Amino acid sequence: MPVAIYPGTFDPVTCGHVDIVERAARIFTKVVAVVADNPSKNWAFSTEERLSMLRDSLAHIPNVEVQSHKGLVVECFDQCDATVIIRGLRAISDFDYEFQMAFTNRKLDARAETIFLMPSAKYTYLSSTIVRQLASFGGDIRTLVPAPIHDRILARFTGAGK
Ligand code: COA
């Protein structure tokens, strides 16, 4: 039964990430969305917050699990007994970085195949940085982030809840 992992920082999760997971969940028996608990980035949200937001955003998809992982993606791939690593490709500018990551993962574990999925065209410009920027200047992020976490993101950047 093919299991896929979808690793990312999800700081915070956006509608573009959810779009990718929905597509993957239609292809694979199980999709494990993995929050990187990697200390090298300056997170806006803690691992627990990112995990909780991801869980709430993906709760409508039955064959999805959410977990965090500290360390290499291939270790998580192995622990989940996965056959595929899912990554999203939004634009050609993602390609170099993704190409490097896919080959690095395959070098570390020859079984680690990466499959790239494209989100809906309406999310090709979207990133977590864009969401953080808009939220901190009071811009409308309603169509960019999943409804269950909208207020939590606004609260973090503006102190407002609604
Ligand atoms: N919709 C919206 N945004 C998307 C997206 C989508 N479908 N797909 C990617 N993005 C954005 C993210 O929001 C993020 O934006 P930001 O930079 O503004 O925060 C950006 O693309 C990249 O995010 P992500 O996909 O989470 O990649 P990453 O490079 O931050 O992290 C990990 C990827 C988690 C796999 C990796 O960094 C990691 O932690 N690896 C562990 C070490 C390892 O195994 N190394 C070997 C492999 S190189």
The model's pLDDT over 93-121, given as tens digits with 9 standing for 90+, comes to 889 999 999 999 999 999 999 999 999 99
Domain ranges of the chain: 3-124
Q: Using the predicted structure, report yes or no on whether residue 162 has a pLDDT greater than 80.
A: no
- Measured from the Cα of 128, ligand 1's closest atom is 13
Write the pLDDT tens digit of every residue in 22-68. 999 999 999 999 999 987 668 999 999 999 999 999 999 999 999 99
Q: 3-124 has which fold? A: Rossmann fold (3.40.50)
Sort residue 110 into left (φ over 0), alpha (ψ -120 to 50) or beta.
alpha
Tell how strand 64-69 and strand 3-8 pair up.
Answer: unpaired
Q: Around Cβ 1, how many Cβ atoms within 10 Å?
A: 7
**Closest to 83 (Cα-Cα) out of 22, 24, 9, 35:** 24
Catalytic residues: 17, 41, 90, 128
| Residue range 66-83: mean pLDDT, rounded | 97
Q: Around Cβ 38, how many Cβ atoms within 10 Å?
A: 16
Distance 36 CA to ligand 1 centre (A): 9
Q: In the structure, which protein residues have their CB atom closer than 6 angstroms to any atom of ligand 1?
A: 7-9, 11, 14, 16-17, 20, 36, 38, 72-73, 88, 90, 101, 104-105, 119, 123, 126-129
Write the pLDDT tens digit of every residue in 84-93. 999 999 998 8
Q: Report pLDDT for 39.
A: 79
Distance 140 CA to ligand 1 centre (A): 23
Q: Report pLDDT for 40.
A: 64
Could you tell which of 73, 76, 95 is best to mutate to test the pocket of ligand 1, judged by most ligand atoms within 8 Å of the CB?
A: 73
| Residue for token pair 């953080």 | 132
Report residue 160's pLDDT band, with 50, 70 and 90 as the boundaries: low
Q: Report pLDDT for 137.
A: 93
